[in-house]
Amino acid sequence: MELKRVVVTGLGAITPLGNSVSETWDNMLKGVSGAGPITYFDASKFKTRFACEVKNFDASLTMDKKEARRLDRFTQYAIAAAHEAFLDSGIDSEKINRRKAGVIWGSGIGGIQEITTELESYYKTGETPRFNPFLVPKMILDIAAGHISIRYGFNGPNYAVCSACATATNNIIDAFNLIRLNKADVIISGGSEAPVTIPALGGFSSAKALSERNDDPLTASRPFDKDRDGFVIGEGGGALILEELEHAKARGAKIYAEVAGGGMSGDAYHITAPHPEGLGAQYSMENAFEDAGIRPEMIDYVNVHGTSTPMGDPIELKAVAKMLGEHIYKTSISSTKSMTGHGLGAAGAFESIACIMAIKDGIIPPTINLFNLDPAIDSRLDLTPNVAKKRNVNYALNNTFGFGGHNASVIFKKYSE
């Protein structure tokens, strides 16, 4: 069968850099760090006491207070990001076939704060168990997709994919595949996460995955730098409206970019460490290029996973080099996690939006905090250090990898008839 073309017609974001796409993108281009001391709880006893928190988020702008109380932050972020994307797309729910309009939205962890709160209460009281009746629907990670679907009356595919830090990208790829197979016309896709919590901070810290640069949080996320010491937890939500091309054209929609292809793979190696030769990452990219039907030398920009971990950064660049060959020296590369922190299940959505905006505006967002390049990394690479730069972008590749060896790569391209 002939595959349909899929375009992006709406974007929405709640990130540590801003509560909209425009604010987030503007701060990315300025090289702003979203990091700071943790405000949600007393982190003074932890080895890491900072994170990239969302700032000045007002849930009441997109939901009433009663509804907000029944939602974990990850779902609040999802609803807010989806709302911006929906308005941005100009879709009228009354004028589309809602049986072919869906939501595919994931989270890596879901409502971890709700579980924490309820268990703390239970163990403190020691009396007859009393749990919030909304505990289960607040914590399950598929609930965000359900709420978005209900809000817009979308009766099409509605589910969540979870693949740790590759989650949002996997959801975007699933949405892309369903639309091009004519199983849907429109899908709201992306991911959200609210992991700035005691158990998440404690767990990642015990795994020695986090930066401990408490004296200077703003420079703690430093991908590719020789002095990097771990990632910084981030949070928020990112939404993309994916739409079948002819459906979008028929309603006169603006088009940000086209989804060219997606690839997925498994490391089959270790539950947390990447394959030492980057094979899983390489396979994911190879599958994406094959799916898109393009040659590696057509890529202008790669938004790498680039978490700022000592092991992960050089391994990923090794895989990118295998994939792009000599063309890697003509390719712009950056890690926007240097600014947003690691949004875990939302990361792929943040970074897909960065790729799409790079295509739209012809600007590469920087890798900030790159002061001294790791000697293990090829100094000839264009890692866009510290300052954004203008560049025409026809094709952009977004890589995301997660615990469990989950890898997902998606390619966006400039739209043309």
Backbone angles phi, psi at 30, to 5 degrees: -80, -10
Give SS3 for 203.
Answer: helix
Helix 312-324 × helix 279-292 angle, to 10° = 40
DSSP per residue, 45-94: TSS--EEB---S--GGGTS-HHHHHTS-HHHHHHHHHHHHHHHHHT--GG
**CB-CB contact of 282 with 295 (8 Å):** no
d(CA 17, CA 51): 12
Task: Clarify whether 270 is annotated catalytic.
Answer: no
Alpha helices in 251-394 (DSSP H): 279-292, 312-324, 337-340, 347-361
Task: Clarify whether 342 is annotated catalytic.
Answer: yes
Residues 6+ away with beta carbon under 8 Å from 158:
102, 103, 104, 145, 146, 149
Q: Which of 83, 147, 275, 305 is catalytic?
A: 305
Task: Clarify whether 165 is annotated catalytic.
Answer: yes
**Cα–Cα distance list, 417 to 41, 238, 246, 250 (Å):** 51, 27, 11, 14
DSSP secondary structure letter of residue 260: E
Q: Which of 83, 147, 342, 406 is catalytic?
A: 342
Q: Which of 83, 147, 162, 165 is catalytic?
A: 165
**Residues carrying an active site annotation:** 165, 305, 342
